[in-house]
Structure 1
Amino acid sequence: MTAQQPSPSHTLRSQRLNALTHEPHSRLDNQVKNHDPFASTERFARFVAAQYLFQYDLEKLYADKDLAALVPGLEKRCRVEQTRLDLADLGHPVPEGDESIRTRKMDVSEALAWLFVSEGSKLGAAFLLKRMPALGLSESFGARHLGEPEGGRAQGWKTFVAALDDIVLSTEQERLAEAAASAAFERFTVHLERCFA
């Protein structure tokens, strides 16, 4: 894999993934609203539990040395520990994750697509953080996982997207990436429904 020089007419991979996941993303947003996680700290704790399960799924990807060579500061981007601490603050048990994603053999294209979904959620976290004072929470208590990443949200996203867009993938790998991005949104939806059941 080497860097590619995108032509002016070339649609960037990040833009394609963003467009392709618009529907599952909107569906997930609606489900979050339906569960009203900001109505109380108890409901928010359930939302954090879902976040924990998703970050648990991705923990090994964030620690992967091959992926770290492609994405600057990858290991520091993982939020599984912040969600664990948030759950402790909220007095909510840490749910037991399963190993189905952690042990799945993924192509680099699939792994990057899962990370794309996780990293993209940090942009929306800025808006969620503004709702935390009403619950008595902050990025240092109960809502750490929503906190500002080192270097800032915008710069962190820009750096990730630049790495994602620069990698040369085959046509089959592009297809795998597209399917994986949708699967990541579906996986979070499963976690959300489990935690609010």
Structure 2
Amino acid sequence: MNTSTDKVILENLMARLKQETSSEHDRMEVLMQQAGVFESKENYAQFTLSQYYFQKDVEHLYLDPKVQQLIPDLDVRGRSEAALQDLKDLNVEPQQQLIATEMIKFPESLGWIYVSEGSTLGAAFLFKEAQAKFGFNVEFAARNLAAYPEGRAVVWKRFKQTLDEANFTEQEKNEVIKGALNGFNRFGTLLEDLKNLK
């Protein structure tokens, strides 16, 4: 690669996000394995609870007019309602009301949304596992892992394009990356405490 190519990659927000959160991706995989999500329906139910809490955190950020202006298709995103329906199927009722993103501002909020949107790609594998191990599906206990109606790749590509075409300053890009790291940290904390979640 030459220096001009390096510069383009450095300036590309999605490329930076992928690079600067790669260790967090790896950490989430380790935490998922340690959680034994598919070892029992109880473990799976606790994982679904963590999904619900994280989605509530992310969807709180949708209320910001700046987020709404930048991402006009928010109505097809977000999975807290699907997770809540899954929890009802699994006889689990969320007890917590805390929203971890109460103080998060734009554009840091976009980093949290990046974590959520990126997780929809990995959810394809989780959805297959839930089907294979427990017989769960898009109508029972695995709604929150199902693909968007348009397909995972289409919606993810549209989100990536939106961020890359937003013309953020370096400081704003840094804020988005900070948000992504904090989003990963939040979900990691939920996974680490999976057995104690209520």
CA RMSD of aligned residues (A): 1.6
Structure 1: gaps of 5 or more residues = 1-6
How far did residue 105 of structure 1 move? 4.1
User: What amino acid does structure 2 have at the position aligned with 1:162?
Assistant: Q
Give deviations 1:100-140, integer Å, cap 9, x for gaps. Answer: 41x2141x221111111100000011111111222121121
Match of 2:171 in 1: 172
Give me the whole-angstrom Cα distance separating, in 2, the residues matched to 1:143 and 1:167. 34
Within a 5 Å distance, the mapping from 1:15-94 to structure 2 comes to 15-94=15-94
Residues 1:105 and 1:189: Cα distance change in structure 2 (over 3 Å): closer
Which runs of at least 4 in structure 1 moved beyond 6 Å after TM superposition? none
How many residue pairs align between the two structures? Answer: 189
Structure 2: gaps of 5 or more residues = none
How far did residue 196 of structure 1 move? 1.9
User: What amino acid does structure 2 have at the position aligned with 1:174?
Assistant: K
Match of 1:129 in 2: 127
User: What amino acid does structure 1 have at the position aligned with 2:194?
Assistant: C
Give me the whole-angstrom Cα distance separating, in 2, the residues matched to 1:19 and 1:37. 27
Residues 1:100 and 1:154: Cα distance change in structure 2 (over 3 Å): closer
Match of 1:112 in 2: 110
Match of 1:140 in 2: 139
- Structure 2 length as normaliser, TM-score? 0.89
Give deviations 1:119-162, integer Å, cap 9, x for gaps. Answer: 00000111111112221211211010011102110000000000
Identical aligned residues as a percent: 34
SS at match of 1:10: helix
- Report if aligned partners of 2:35, 2:194 keep a CA contact under 8 Å in 1: no
Give deviations 1:47-77, integer Å, cap 9, x for gaps. Answer: 0011011011112222433212211311320
Match of 1:152 in 2: 151
How far did residue 21 of structure 1 move? 0.5
Give me the whole-angstrom Cα distance separating, in 1, the residues matched to 2:122 and 2:14. 17
Match of 2:183 in 1: 184
- Report if aligned partners of 1:62, 1:78 keep a CA contact under 8 Å in 2: no
- Report if aligned partners of 2:37, 2:44 keep a CA contact under 8 Å in 1: yes
Match of 1:3 in 2: none
